[in-house]
Amino acid sequence: MNATHFVCPFCGLLCDDLPFPGTSGHVQAACPKAAAGWAAIRPTGGAHVDGVPAEEAAAVRTAAIALARARRPLIGGLAGDVQAMRAALALADRCGARVVHAHQAAAQRNLFALQSRGAVTTTLAEARHRADLVVIVGGDVTQRFPRVLERLFAPEPLFVEAAQRRIVLLGAETLEHAPAGVPVERVDCGGLDLFAAVAALRACCEGRLDGHGRVPTALAALAERMRASRYGLLLWAAADVDDAGADLLIEQLQQLLQGLNRETRWAALPLAGSGADLTANAVAAWQTGFALPLEFRGGEGAGDPFPDYRDVDLLLWIAVLPGLTFPDWARDLPVVAVGAPGLAPPGARVFIPAAVPGVESAGHLVRTDGVVTLYAPAQVATGLPSAAAVLDRIATAVQAQAC
C-alpha cells in the first residue's frame, strides 16, 4: 500500500492535510471526530446470515433472494463513496426499489430552500481567503465539523487582513473548537427564537425597520456590521437547525444574503457531506436528474420528495462510513446490510462486510462545499471488497433470480 496522502472520510470536510491515524497519533490529537471514526471501523468480522457466520457468496445469494422477493424494497443508509452509490442506483433500478440517504431529512432543508428561491454559496478556499465576518447560525458547527474554523481561518489570508476577521454566533452559546487569535462574539437575540431573529436581521439589513421597529439592539448592530462587511459568510449545518420549517429558516438566510449582495458581498457555506450525504445526492442527480429520495419503478427513476415508507418490506442498508443513525421505524423490518465491520445494524438478517473508502479501499467523495469530488486513496490492505463490488455481486445474483 503506497498511499501518498490521506483524505479523511469521517466528515464532509474531507481534510487532506493530516497523516493517516493508523500510522500516527496526530489525527487523534487534531480531530476527535476522526479519532472516533477510526475507532468505530476497526473491529473485524465476516459475513453472517441469521446470526450465523457465512461465506460471502452465500450471504450475497441470500441477500439477492430477499431482494427479488420483496415487493417494496428500500435502499437506505448510503454512507459510501461515488462508486458505491452508482452501484446502489443500478441495483435499485433492477429491483424496483426506493432510495434514500439516512440523513436525507437534514439534506432536504438546504435542497428545498435551493429549489424554492435559489442559493448563493461559496467554497472553502474563497471563504478562507476573503471572509472578514463569519456569522455562524444555529448550533456550534464545530461539534459536527471539528476543523471547519481551522480550515477557514488561514494564518495569512490573501485578500483580507487577518486581524480584521471576526466570528459572530447567532444561536450557539459557544464554540468547542474556536480558532486561535480570532475574536468570537455571541449575539443576544433578546429572547427571540432563531426564526424571529433571522427575520428581524433581514428586515434591518433591508432597511425595513429603520426608526420604528423594535429589534433587539444587538441584532440591529449586527445588521449594520453585516452591511459594512466587505465579504461576509453565513455558516450553518442543516442538521443543527432541527425544527419544523427549518427549510424556511434556510430560505430566509438565503434571502438575507441576496439582499446584502445588492450593496456588498456575502455568501453561504451550508456544511454537509458527512456520511456521504452530498455524495449520494450528487450521484443521484448526475445519473437521474433528481436528488434523493428516488423511486425506481418499471425501469424508470423519479424524484420522491415526500416519501411514505410504511409499506417497506425489506431494507438494504449501506454503511461503509460511520456516523449514521439507523431509523427507529425500520427496527422491525428484515434488513440486509452491506457495511464496514463494526457498522452492522442490530438485528440485520444478512450482513456482508465491505471496505471503508479512503481507508481500506480507494474511493471518491464529494466535499462539503460541493465543488470538488476528492479521490481518497486506500491506506491499508484488508482484502475486503469495496461496497460497489458487493452491490454489483448482489445485482448479478438478483438478475440470476429473475432468469
Angle among Cα 211, 138, 176 to the nearest 5 degrees reads: 125
Least distance CB 142 / ligand SF4 (angstroms) = 9
Report if residue 367 touches ligand SF4, rule: CB under 6 A: no
Tell me the window of 26-34, 185-193, 260-268, 384-392 that interacts with ligand SF4 (CB under 6 A): 26-34
Report if residue 278 touches ligand SF4, rule: CB under 6 A: no
Report if residue 236 touches ligand SF4, rule: CB under 6 A: no
Q: How many residues bind ligand SF4 (CB under 6 A)?
A: 13
61-70 burial, b at 16+ Cβ within 10 Å, e below that, comes to bbbbebbbeb
Tell me the window of 28-36, 98-106, 338-346, 382-390 that interacts with ligand SF4 (CB under 6 A): 28-36
92: helix, strand or coil: helix
How far, CA to CA in Å, does 206 sit from each of 38, 71, 200, 232, 268? 47, 53, 10, 16, 18
Nearer to ligand SF4, 273 or 353 (CB): 273
Report if residue 215 touches ligand SF4, rule: CB under 6 A: no
Tell me the window of 30-38, 219-227, 300-308, 340-348 that interacts with ligand SF4 (CB under 6 A): 30-38
151: helix, strand or coil: helix
How far, CA to CA in Å, does 194 sit from each of 201, 203, 239? 10, 14, 15
| Nearest Cα residue to 130 out of 272, 12, 267 | 267
Least distance CB 276 / ligand SF4 (angstroms) = 12
Report if residue 276 touches ligand SF4, rule: CB under 6 A: no
Report if residue 10 touches ligand SF4, rule: CB under 6 A: yes
Report if residue 14 touches ligand SF4, rule: CB under 6 A: yes
Site string for ligand SF4, 126-155 (x = CB under 6 A): -------------------xxx--------
320-359 burial, b at 16+ Cβ within 10 Å, e below that, comes to bbbbbebbeebeebbbbbbbbbbbbbeebbbbbbbbbbbb
Report if residue 350 touches ligand SF4, rule: CB under 6 A: no
For residue 113, the one-letter residue type is: A
**Which residues contact ligand SF4 (rule: CB under 6 A)?**
8, 10-11, 13-15, 18, 31, 33-34, 145-147
